[in-house]
Amino acid sequence: MISALSSDDLKGIIAQRLPLGVDKSSSTSYTPFSGVFEGHGHVVKNLVMNKDRSGFFFGLNGATVKNLVFHSTCKFSGVTNYDDLVGVVALNAKGTVIIDNVTVSAEIEGYQASGFVTEAQDSITITNSKFDGHFHLQD
């Protein structure tokens, strides 16, 4: 389990290469997160991602993400390619994934974009969560 105990903990996580789980030698190879990410209600602010794969996690596999807020000062956008994926919480999900008490107020721009997860291969349960951000979908 990853547990963000303070805002400083989140700054340390965000300071790493995002999306979390991406292979540093390749933008398409990754290890999906399969544990529990407990955000403790902390707010992610001023996170700006503009790349072909924009999201907090690259992939989730049987994972739970809970109690986290993406503030309206966050922006997730693709680079202008039809293959771009933009998913604020994750780009893709496999297995049984749970998103609970997550608020996304971010600005999102891209061809394939979602406030939570862009591609789901199995089952996603989203509870007690909301999206009140803004989409700018590209043609």
Q: Is 12 exposed, middle or buried (0-12, 13-18, 19+ CB in 10 A)?
A: exposed
CA 104 and chain centroid, separation: 10
Mean pLDDT across 50-58: 81
The separation between the first and the last C-alpha atoms of the chain, rounded to the nearest angstrom, is: 39
Angstrom distance (rounded) from CA 133 to CA 131: 6
Residue 91, both tokens: 């780009």
This prediction has a pTM of 0.83
Residue 19 pLDDT level (bands cut at 50, 70, 90): confident
Mean pLDDT across 89-99: 92
Residue 101, both tokens: 């008490």
